[in-house]
């Protein structure tokens, strides 16, 4: 099954092509240019380099979040447009599940963390048994509170991954000590190839999303919305 995957959840964006379980190509960039500037050129280039057209694609996968509000809107909207135009099945994969799948070889327990800034993370704990199995609810809040919940729920070594784990690694070590497993640096950030491979498995299992209704997963209000809500709670003028 030939899958095109898109990830624009963080500053490090990527696109990938897979044919079955074989990676055909992947472009990953961690640069200042916005996703609106680089996503379409990356898609055009990877399709050209792979020698594929829309008719060759058998499914489209997209990272749905949590992550950058603007980045997610760009990536998900692009994936929806391609799937609708090409009349191909669409699958959304959460960033947290994609990260767990990406490092599932490292430990039986995987804690995925996305930096939400100001000492907070988006996160979830997974137990690895083939595909990631959620072992707790989604989290959006202070990193220390999340780590305490994770350490109470899991037994033995835990692989911590995601840009949130990288940013707050000192706090991870302080809380988890020698239970903390850190993957190689290139596995800390989500790759579109992981979204493609996990998306393929979901599509083969009969899962799919409607291109007209798939939406990013944010877990909380944007900073602008939270500021507005705070001002309104004090009395909007």
| pLDDT single digits (tens) 30-85 | 766 677 888 999 999 999 999 999 999 999 999 999 999 999 999 999 999 999 99
Which CATH number goes with the domain that contains 206?
3.30.420.40
Residue 159's domain comprises: 104-182
* Distance of alpha carbon 176 from alpha carbon 90, whole angstroms: 38
Answer yes or no: do 78 and 195 share one domain. yes
Phi/psi for 132 (5° steps) reads -60, 130
Do 66 and 147 fall into the same domain? no
Judgement on whether residues 172 and 90 belong to the same structural domain of the protein: no
- Residue 115, in any domain of the structure: yes
Shared-domain flag, residues 89 and 50: yes
Within a domain: residue 89?
yes
Taking Cα atoms as reference points, which of 90, 100, 111 lies closest to residue 176? 111
| 234 assigned to some structural domain | no
Q: In terms of domains, do 91 and 145 share one? A: no
147 in the same domain as 202: no
Residues 50 and 121 in one domain: no
Q: What is the DSSP string of 39-80?
A: HHHHHHHHHHHHT--GGG--EEEEE--SS-HHHHHHHHHHHH
Q: Say how many domains are in the chain.
A: 2
Stretch among 14-23, 149-158, 171-180, 219-228 having the lowest mean pLDDT: 219-228
Q: Is 139 domain-assigned? A: yes
Do 149 and 71 fall within a single domain? no
Question: Which pair of tokens denotes residue 198?
Answer: 């996990």
**220 band by pLDDT with thresholds 50, 70 and 90:** confident
pLDDT band for position 226 (50/70/90)?
very low
pLDDT band at residue 228 using 50, 70 and 90 as cut-offs: very low
pLDDT at 235: 62
- Residue 236 domain-assigned (yes or no): no
pTM of the model: 0.91
Residue 237 lies in a domain: no
């Amino acid at each position: 099954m030939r899958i095109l995957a898109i990830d624009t959840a963080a500053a490090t964006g990527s696109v990938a092509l897979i044919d079955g379980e074989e990676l055909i190509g992947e472009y990953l960039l961690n640069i200042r240019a916005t996703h609106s500037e680089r996503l379409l050129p990356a898609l055009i280039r990877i399709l050209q380099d792979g020698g594929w057209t829309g008719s060759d694609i058998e499914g489209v996968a997209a990272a749905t979040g949590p992550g950058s509000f603007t980045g997610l809107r760009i990536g998900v909207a692009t994936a929806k447009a391609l799937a609708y135009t090409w009349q191909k099945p669409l699958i959304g994969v959460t960033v947290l599940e994609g990260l767990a799948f990406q490092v599932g070889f490292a430990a039986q327990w995987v804690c995925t963390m996305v930096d939400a800034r100001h000492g907070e993370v988006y996160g979830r704990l997974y137990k690895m048994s083939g595909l990631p199995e959620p072992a707790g609810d989604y989290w959006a809040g202070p990193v220390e509170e999340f780590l305490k919940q994770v350490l109470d729920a899991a037994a033995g070594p835990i692989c911590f991954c995601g840009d949130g784990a990288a940013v707050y690694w000192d706090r991870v070590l302080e809380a988890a000590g020698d239970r903390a497993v850190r993957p190689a640096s290139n596995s800390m950030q989500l790759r579109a190839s992981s979204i493609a491979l996990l998306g393929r498995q979901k599509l083969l299992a009969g899962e799919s999303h409607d291109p007209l209704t798939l939406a990013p997963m944010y877990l909380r209000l944007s900073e602008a919305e939270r500021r507005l809500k705070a001002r309104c709670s004090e009395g909007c003028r």
